[in-house]
Amino acid sequence: MKRITLPLTDEQIETLNAGDSVLLSGTMITGRDAAHKRLYELAQKGEDFPVDIKGETIYYVGPAPAKPGYAVGPAGPTSSYRMDKYAPTLMDMGLKAMVGKGARNKEVVDAIVRNHGVYFAAIGGAAALIAKSIKSEKLLCYEDLGTEAIREYVVEDFPCVVVIDSKGNNVYETEPQKYNEE
């Protein structure tokens, strides 16, 4: 199990290989469908973002509300492919890493390699467990989007797996083959 500090450095990204189980600590930002659509539209118009994504790790999540006494509500990953349309643009603008679940298209894999980034997967449906590693949250922008607003999470030992590394190796393509008995 590798312990990784956020924000990621190029040197750290270099050491990450597809299949590695990692624990992330530091800060990441959140965003999913609606927030991506807004950022993408700003990018197309050449306008500034309300949040700095340079060097950031973005977590595709729409948390449930926090019960009193909790830093955050249950917060597991959402399906990443819905962000595929937007992710290459954001990566070309400086986004370094993404945390989600499920497959990515070729354009995203190419953008990861081109920008020397990385794609992590957290365990879908393990929201209550994952929330234990999120120590605090802060609203950054798009409050009107509710659960889809962009927030900053401070995480400690956030568990995930390197699915697509900076070389373009992809666990979803290599690992299932090893267990295919058809």
Partner 1 sequence: MNFRQINADTVKNTVKKLFLDCNYNIGDDILCALKKSKDKEKSPVGQSVLAQIIENDEIAAAEQIPLCQDTGMAVLFVEYGDKVVIENGSFQEAVEQGVREAYEEGYLRKSVVSDPVFDRTNTKDNTPAIIHTKIVPGDKIKITAGGKGFGSENMSAIKMLTPSYGIEGVKDFVLETVRKAGPNPCPPMVVGVGIGGTFEKCAELAKKATFRSIDTENPDPRYADLERELLERINKMGFGPAGLGGSTTAIGVNVETYPTHIAGMPVAVNICCHAARHKSAEI
Residue 79 or 169: the one with the smaller Cβ distance to partner 1 is 79
Report helix, strand or coil for 37: helix
Told to check if 139 binds partner 1 by CB under 8 A, we report no
- The nearer residue to partner 1, 9 or 21, going by C-beta atoms, is 21
Among residues 126, 140, 141, 154, the one that binds partner 1 under rule CB under 8 A? 126
In the complex with partner 1, which residue's Cβ is closer, 7 or 66?
66
Least Å distance between CB 129 and partner 1?
4
Pairing assessment for the beta strands 21-30 and 150-164 based on DSSP bridges: antiparallel
Q: Indicate the residue among 60 and 88 with the shorter CB distance to partner 1.
A: 60
Q: What is the DSSP string of 77-96?
A: --BGGGGTTTHHHHHHTT--
Token pair in block for residue 73: 């509500």
Give the binding range for partner 1 (CB under 8 A) out of 8-16, 51-59, 112-120, 174-182.
Answer: 174-182
Name the residue nearer to partner 1 (CB basis): 48 or 182.
182
CA-wise closest residue to 24 among 175, 158, 147, 172: 158
Exposed/middle/buried for 105, CB within 10 Å: 0-12, 13-18, 19+? middle
Q: Which one of the spans 60-68, 83-91, 112-120, 149-157 is the region binding partner 1 (CB under 8 A)? A: 60-68
SS3 label, residue 108:
helix
DSSP 62: -
What does the block give as tokens for 65? 């509300």
Q: Where on the chain is the footprint of partner 1 (CB under 8 A)?
A: 19, 21, 34, 61-67, 70, 73-76, 78-79, 81, 101-103, 121, 123-130, 132, 146-147, 159, 161, 163, 171-172, 174-182
